[in-house]
Amino acid sequence: MQRRDFLALSGLGLGSLVLPPFLGRAIAAEQLLEKIDVGFKKRLADAALQAATSSGASYCDVRVGRYLRQFVMTREDKVQNVVNTESTGVGIRVIANGAWGFSATNVLTPDAVAATARRAVEIAKANAKLLTEPVRLARAPAYGEVSWQTPIKVNAMAVPVRDKVDLLLSVNAAALNAGADFVNSTLFLVNEQKYFASTDGSYIDQDIHRIWMPMSVTAVDKATGRFRTRDGLSAPMGMGYEYLEGGGRKYISPNGVINYGDRYDPVEDAREAAKQAREKLKAPSVKPGRYDLVLDPSHTWLTIHESVGHPLELDRVLGYEANYAGTSFATLDKRGSFRWGSDLVTFIADKTRPGSLGAVGYDDEGVKCKRWELVKDGILVDYQATRDQAHILGKEESDGCCYADSWSSVQFQRMPNVSLAPGREKLSVADMIKDVENGIYIIGDGSFSIDQQRYNAQFGGQLFYEIRNGRITGMIEDVAYQIRTPEFWNSCVAVCDESDYRLGGSFFDGKGQPGQVSAVSHGSATARFNGVNVINTARSLG
């Protein structure tokens, strides 16, 4: 995950006069509901396709994108900021003389777009001089004129800001009334209106929605100088405002912690968070050593993201990310034979699951999205590839995981939703815990860090409970566990069944230079890992 962009966004609450550049320009809330006419977008796209091919391009794709975001930020009884942003423009990618070229413009006229296409061709021709191997593009069907929309029930951009402010302030009040000293809550909304056209004969209009409501609840004990924070247990989702309107199934752990699925009750979570933050102030510190870990899906998503999703990005495996995010231990020679995990471990790549952040109809190079296996019954079987990478894996078609975070960014390989398949045998969380003699039950994501080849990782969490002889005995603190990726997934001895399956995810997965962010979900059911190294993170500053 990218910390710099997240920090820049936190700056929005601190009165900075400058927006982080990737957000584009500030607009009024009602402008969030405006759309660009599809016929107009097609005319722009055709102008680009025509200009590119007549200048010598063998392939061209055009993305007419309007990227909208809304942030409502609060702390305690105050609204810190309401920001609406828009960024609109056209990104054009071509192949000429076997090389890629890219150019972008924010001027939405056929002439400007055609000139931009010609510039992309010039850049491709210049790049071709440095080329060692021409681009080989896997075929993509011509879909004609099609459209896709995130299956939302309520467009969050259409909900009045007043209602959002009221909800956030009621969340904060619930936390304060339940014993919190401080609370921050924020609503982040994203709408990507994307039009894709290519010389392959596809014209794809997509309307993509995402929602996230993070909160942070802090309890302070001034006498001891201790403070503890419990973050919200919501997940960012590919959904509309219905995510916040309640009514869904709750997932209540054997010790009463409330987790959420495809509906979130932020007021309830804030109340619980305040109580748990106070409990954390007094919880005993963990004794370091080997423990069996029982990991809730609200936690496991981040472990999957870092130790499975990233090492299977093909560009990283090949060395294209070596200078920044790193390479991967999952080299191509391991495909088909490397034991990634125990027989219980199957990882599915999926850009189709409703409600997930990665779900779209078509990726940013016009490939229809799908679901495929990366690790099957513990064995590494596949990677994540784009059209120009498919041939490296001997594939006829792309996996459909190409994405750009803006019209002005070049699309490249990004992680699809990568999820741990639920167990095939019926198993509840309570039954899983009954068998654990010396363990820790972890709920919520916390600190995370992993090396540049994705071997050694360390994770924290939000809530830690000691398990002794099959019973949850109470809360503990100062827990972090350290893993070596293959050993960790090979220590997986149980996964709960589908009835416990939930998604977690991130709005800010960072990759590339210049850096781009993407949003991705990871699903799992509660899972058990035996004999994991747990360290104690308490220190004294004297």
Site for another protein in 36-95 (CB under 8 A): 77-80, 82-83, 85
In this chain, which of 234, 408, 411, 419 binds another protein, going by CB under 8 A? Answer: 408
Residues of span 362-391 touching another protein by CB under 8 A: none
Check if the beta carbon of residue 472 is closer than 8 Å to that of residue 465: yes
**CA separation for the pair 296, 254 (Å, rounded):** 12
Q: Segment near another protein (CB under 8 A), from 195-203, 258-266, 376-384, 529-537?
A: 529-537
In this chain, which of 59, 67, 71, 102 binds another protein, going by CB under 8 A? Answer: 102
Burial class (CB in 10 A: 0-12, 13-18, 19+), 458: middle
109 binds another protein (CB under 8 A): no
Residues of span 455-494 touching another protein by CB under 8 A: 455-456, 458, 460, 478, 480, 482, 484
Instruction: Say how many residues touch another protein, by CB under 8 A.
Output: 85
In this chain, which of 37, 39, 130, 144 binds another protein, going by CB under 8 A? Answer: 130
267 binds another protein (CB under 8 A): no
Residues of span 137-166 touching another protein by CB under 8 A: 161-162, 165
Give all strands of the β-sheet with 371-376 in edge-to-edge order: 379-380, 371-376, 347-350, 417-420
In this chain, which of 46, 122, 181, 435 binds another protein, going by CB under 8 A? Answer: 181
453 binds another protein (CB under 8 A): yes
Which of 512, 368, 525, 496 has the alpha carbon at shortest distance from 435?
496
448 binds another protein (CB under 8 A): yes
Q: Segment near another protein (CB under 8 A), from 137-145, 224-232, 336-344, 370-378?
A: 224-232
Reading the block at residue 231, the tokens are: 């973050």
Amino acid at 200: D
318 binds another protein (CB under 8 A): yes
3-state percent breakdown (helix, strand, coil) of the chain, nearest 5: 25, 35, 35
Cβ neighbors of 297 (< 8 A, separation 6 or more) are 259, 500, 501, 502, 503, 504, 523, 524, 525, 526
**Which H or E element spans position 266?**
helix 266-282
283 binds another protein (CB under 8 A): no
**What is the CA 85 to chain-centroid distance, rounded?**
20
Distances in whole angstroms, Cα of residue 350 to Cα of each of 306, 417, 440, 508: 17, 5, 30, 18
7 binds another protein (CB under 8 A): yes
Residues of span 410-439 touching another protein by CB under 8 A: 410
Beta strands in 285-369 (DSSP E): 289-295, 347-350
CB of 152 to another protein, least distance (A): 25
451 binds another protein (CB under 8 A): yes
CB of 448 to another protein, least distance (A): 6
CB of 323 to another protein, least distance (A): 4
In this chain, which of 125, 299, 305, 454 binds another protein, going by CB under 8 A? Answer: 454
